[in-house]
Structures are given as C-alpha cells and as structure tokens.
Amino acid sequence: MFDIPHIEKLDQNFAKSAEDKLAKLAIPKGALGELGDLAVKLMTFSQSFTPNFTHRELFLCAADHGVAMNKVSQYPQISDKILSCASHRGAVINALCETHNCQLSLMDCGLINEPKPGSVKIHNRVIARGGTKDFSLVAAMSSEQCKEALENGISMARNSSAQLILLGEMGIGNTSSAAAMFAKNSNLSVEECVGAGTGLDPEGIKHKTKVIQQSLDRFSIENLSPAESAFEIIRQVGGFELATLVGICLGAAEQGKLILLDGFLSAVVAIMAKSFNPNVRDYMIASHLSHEQAHKKALKILDKTALLDLQMRLGEGSGAVLALPLIDSVCAILSQCMSLDEALNV
C-alpha cells in the first residue's frame, strides 16, 4: 500500500450564505438555472463570495496498456505519437488549453516508445517503458509499480501551484482498463461498463467485454477493505496513467484544490480515489457527460451532475477544459454583478 493523504471534509456551512448572496443579486430567482447551482458550489468550496480559479493546470497523463494486444481498441498502440502531437502543439487539447488559459502538463507515465518532444515539455514519470502487462493473463503491474504511480500523482498535485486541477488521460486500451476497474469496484456486470472506446462496432464491443470478463475472473477482492480493494483492482487491471491520476486526485484534495473531472475514465479514477478517502469527492466537479454508456452510472455513484452534455469521447481532458468558460463566467457574475438594492439605486 501507500500513505493515503489526509483530506479534510469540505465545510458545507458556507452554502447557506452563498445561496443568500446569489438571491440578493440583480437576477430573477432561478434565472441562472444550473449556473446558479455551480455558483453556490464554487462559493462554498472557496469559502468566498468572489471565487477565482484563473490559475489552473491540466495533467495529461499517458501510458500504454498490455491488454491492447487483444485488439480491444480500433487503433494500434500509437499512444506515443498522440502525446508527441500534443508536445508539438497539434492536438485538440493544445487548442483548447491555449484558448481557455489553462496550463498543460504532459506526463509520460509508461509508453512503449519514447515520445518525440516538441515545444511543450513532456515530463518523465515513466513506471515501465513497455507499459503495463496484458491484464487478461496476469496482473497489469506489481505492487511496487502501483505504489510508485499513486505516489507520483500525489507528489505532482502537491507541487502544483494551481488552484484548479484538471484531469486528462491518453493511452490506447485505457477504456478497457477503466471499464474493468469500474465493474470490479462497483460490483457491476462487465456489459454495463463497456463502451465503444475509440469507436468499436458491436462485434468489437462484444470481444472487448469477453476480454475484460476473463481479466476480472482472474482475481478476488473478497475480505479486503475499501482501500485495499481499490489498490488491488488498480494493480490487477489498471494503467500507469490512471493510477497516477488517482494519486493526483488525492494529492489535490489534500492541498484544498478543486478538481475538474473529464469523461468516463476520470470518473472511474475519482471513484477509485474515493475508495481510498471518501472526502476526496467533496473537491470534485464533473465537467461533461461523455458518449461512454457507463459514464452516467459512474457520475451517479459519485453523486455528481455534469455541467455539459456534448456526447464527446475524445479524452485528453478536453471536456474538462470546455467547462472552464462556465466556471469563469460564474466567477465573473459573482464579482461584477450588482445586488438588487444597488441596481435599484443606480
């Protein structure tokens, strides 16, 4: 195991004051709809009537998965090429981060091939250059590797000066890993958790389901505590990038930072982090609802409502970055909008 960070439960007492602040603005009651709910969440989180999250960092963690050898993805293991594209400012996530003023940190957590660096630095957090093992046959990683990945994530979050941490992942085969973790941890059938990933057809999804079921039948988590169970699930069927993101969640919450989830994979990461420390959930906001069928179930377990529903399945943290304008807009309203009394006396 590893030293699980201590996370304070978020003080919800400020929520009533936040609701009163919103009610006093020169805005008809309920007119902001779900933005009003977001405003209360942001004020409560920051314990301030004028929250500000202008300093934000997206950790885009990349790794390869041995299970990809079973053709569970439509693409070969070209994860290093995709990360190289981001390093050369040619990926969707580059355009989004530059448009919405978000620092992009690229993390190689264990790709098969070393990516070619460009103008955006690629940080070396490699656990094993060959990626994880084929978890349909053996454990994806050793206990030592799992511990190292979790601790890497905790350290990265602790060392970040950002107020807002965004989660991003990249790796061929990682939807299989996330579906396997989700099914085992939440006691759901594999069929409920598997989706198209990179665009599999019905036959491809059926094959992917079979491979994951074979993987889950290999090991048991009976009689383990929630934390021990989460560690064993990550070790058995996780990915180096996903384990790192679990650590980032725990480290960010420990430091009182707000965490903005991306799609299905980061929701599963959040659920695994919650198994280590339930208080981490208080520090999370769900950015969007993805095309993956199990994402809605994962958000329900987290008791989170997504800000956007764009039916995306790109990954990379793209949906999280697209939610930043909503957060910025709410913060601007709270800092600039007059109260009704002030408006009536203009």
Which two tokens mark 70? Answer: 């079973």
The enclosing H or E element of 172 equals none
How far apart are the C-alpha atoms of 167 and 159, rounded to whole Å? 15
Given 34, 232, 316, 342, the catalytic residue: 316
How far apart are the C-alpha atoms of 268 and 81, rounded to whole Å? 25
- Confirm whether 192 is a catalytic residue: no
Q: Quick one: DSSP state of residue 280? A: G
The residue type found at 48 is S
Instruction: Tell me which residue has tokens 């996780």.
Output: 238
Q: Which long-range contacts (CB under 8 A, 24 or more apart) does 29-38 make?
A: 32/333, 34/305, 34/307, 35/326, 35/329, 35/330, 35/333, 37/305, 38/285, 38/307, 38/326, 38/327, 38/330
How far apart are the C-alpha atoms of 27 and 337, rounded to whole Å? 9
Q: Which residues are catalytic, by number?
A: 316
